[in-house]
Structure formats: structure tokens, C-alpha cells
Chains A and B, each alone.
Chain A
Amino acid sequence: MELKEEFFRIYANLPLEERNNVVVIINQQPISWNIAYIEIKNSTKLGQQILKTLKDLDIL
């Protein structure tokens, strides 16, 4: 499965309260699941960085 699809699958199953919590830090910026979703959905450069980092962390 592509990383993007994997992220969306995981995000869909997250408890709603957890979605507001930080899941990764990129360029010293804390990123919540919700922000990650928007960036990844919009195929931004930040979204790509988020996917790669989540993979490196084995969260994806």
C-alpha cells in the first residue's frame, strides 16, 4: 500500500481526541494528525516530508 493510502487508513481509524495530538515534528514544528492529514491530502512538500518521517518512525 502506498504511504499516502496507509496514512489515510490509519487516520480514519483514529480516536477523534487523538487526532488533535502531535504525531511528528518537521523543521522543529510540531504537527498534529489533523495538520498532517491536510498537508498529505493536498500533496504538499511538507506532506511528503511528513509521510517519509512517519515511515522512518515506523508509525506508518
Chain B
Amino acid sequence: MKEKKENIDELKKEIVIERLRQAPPTVKIAFGSLNEFMNRDELIEQVEKETDIGKRIVKIQLEYLKSFKRGMLQGE
């Protein structure tokens, strides 16, 4: 069970990295406690290193994907 969860977590991370890789390098987001805007590659680095910000980016992307199940922006 624990192994399955770890595999799913790793898969989520890989999916998010691939999604971010599709973005133009010019995409910039300020997020979390960092003061500066991060570009695409910096966002990917955060996810790869599993930093607090990286984990939150993964959560954001997965919640976004899940939102299509219930119809975007319907219900919380």
C-alpha cells in the first residue's frame, strides 16, 4: 500500500514536470515565500527537488486536473 502511494506521488511529480516543460521558458510565476518570480525552469527545479514550493506546485496542478471532473469552477 505504502509502495503504491509512493509510486503515485512520483507519477504526479513526473506529470507536473512534463506539463511545465510544455510551457514557454518565458512563463513567470511568483509563488510562496520566495520574493522573486520563477521562470519555467526554476519551477521545474522546485518540483524536481521536492521543495515545499515544489510540492505545492504539484498539488496545484493536480487539483487543477481534478477540477475538470466536476466541471471547472463548480463547487469547492
Contact = CB atoms under 8 A, between A and B. Distances in A.
Co-assembled chains A and B: yes
Interface residues of B, number: 15
A57 B62 contact: yes
Contacts of B62: 57, 59
Contacts, number: 41
A38 interface: no
B15 A22 contact: yes
Interface in A38-60: 53, 56-60
B22 to A, nearest CB: 6
Contacts of A18: 68
Contact of A13 (B8, B18, B66, B72): B72
Interface string B57-76: 00000100110110110000
